[in-house]
Amino acid sequence: MTTEESPLLGHNVSAEADEAAYEEELQDDVYKRFTTKQKRMIVAVVSWTALIPLFVSESFVPTVPAVAKEFDSTGEIINLAVTFSMASAAITSMIWATYSGFYGRRPIYLACLPCLCIGSLGVAWCNSVPSLMLWRVLQAAGTSSGISVGAGVLGDIYKIEERGTAIGLFMGASLLGAAFAPLAGGIATHYSSWRDMQYGLFLAGAIALLLTYAYLPETSHPGARGIDKLYEHGDLEPGRFKWVWLNPFRSLALLKSPNLVLITLASTAGLMTDFTLLIPLPYTIGKRYNIENEALVGACFVALGVGNILGAPLAGRLSDKTVVRWRKRRGGEWVPEDRLRAGLPALATLVPLSVLLFGFTAQYVDGRLGIALCLAWLFMNGIGVDLSLSPVNTYLVDIGRSRSAELMAVQKATRTLVVGTATSGILPLINHLGVSVTDALAAVIALLGFCCLWVTVRYGQRMRTWVDVGSAEN
């Protein structure tokens, strides 16, 4: 059997080891531990949990003006709660993912969901800006396992040829939050109180916790957990618990790869346009067009969310077709960077144009026409960002092999930290430069991201030979 090694990851393993890994992947028994009905229930439980993170983050945005007014603060200050929560989610997602490999998936869910519930109650009961920030950090930490650990669960129970459909449903459920969370936050704020949305999130977290306890078994493959190896070697009595300190940040060593750095910059640039549009939306659309109803402001977010939902499956099909077409042109040779070609057109056109046109429209076009055009540009951005970023995520799986989860965790955490920090400056920029200039700067950043993606497509195959990243401990 021939092996295919990625210089990016420095897999200096023998053909025998690769063969053993391949044989293990093809085993049917490990995937027959659960019935079809049980698998569907597991997918439903982890999908519900994956839906909550975007509700926590996106539902807060339309409430910022109301929160600022109640605490006698400013939108810029309250917006830091979004920044801090994103940073918290980025860091804790790597922690949860690392420990889920050692202790298992179920214990991590049972540990993080109470943090979500407690954090949501804390936000609902807070009476100062500092306490708001603190509880938002805990709340975000409680949601950050939803995507990373959930994807691991589905990988545990589905064979390779079945995972795509399951993970597609899983990711589709998570994207519903982007479409409807701002609307839910706006409705709660306008017709009741922004605090009631936090009670709703507490209820959602409590339901997730109960469903996990009742219907989510441990899905890790038998003997694959780190603690299983302690049992096996006699270092710990079976059934006993022992706390082990792990380094969740060792995977950051992978950032020595120029390929990973470039595609992280590209995806960060694309995602920045999303937040440049969404974070100030209560001001750029709400105050600009005299929409005082928070529910109507929240409904404006649906346009971008619907674009995300439609763009995700379309992006997958386009990237697959691109790989097939270029492989045929190369006479059967497969080059992972060919998949990234599918994202180039959207990152060069739809993404920068949508944010540029939104800024111009919001500043210079009045009335219903202005509102309609802004919604159209939000929808365009939603589709464009998914078309450009989805091939990047699949590319990481293509080159990552057994370490693809680490690559995705590092990329997501780095991207979230950068975007979360940058978003704190969006409202001040709009106040000083205007929405059109601010959005024009975001469009330029998106074009720089296109350049990073193009360099990876053009020179990525060669760059993968430059750095032997080796193990995550290096």
Q: Which residues contact 324 (CB under 8 A, 6 or more apart)?
A: none
Q: Is the pLDDT of residue 4 over 80?
A: no
CA distance 382 to 351: 8
State the average pLDDT over residues 194-222. Answer: 92
Domains belonging to the chain, first-starting first, are: 26-248 (1.20.1250.20), 250-474 (1.20.1250)
Give pLDDT tens digits for 58-96.
Answer: 788 788 888 988 898 887 788 788 778 878 888 888 888
Give pLDDT tens digits for 147-168.
Answer: 778 877 877 787 654 565 666 6
Mean pLDDT score across all residues of the chain: 81
Q: Is the pLDDT of residue 50 over 80?
A: yes
Q: Is the pLDDT of residue 278 over 60?
A: yes
Give pLDDT tens digits for 424-457.
Answer: 788 888 888 888 899 999 999 999 999 999 999 9
Q: Which residues contact 238 (CB under 8 A, 6 or more apart)?
A: 231
- Residue 350 pLDDT grade (very low, low, confident, very high; cuts 50, 70, 90): very high
**Cα–Cα distances in angstroms (integers) from residue 247 to residues 15, 162, 250, in the given order:** 29, 32, 6
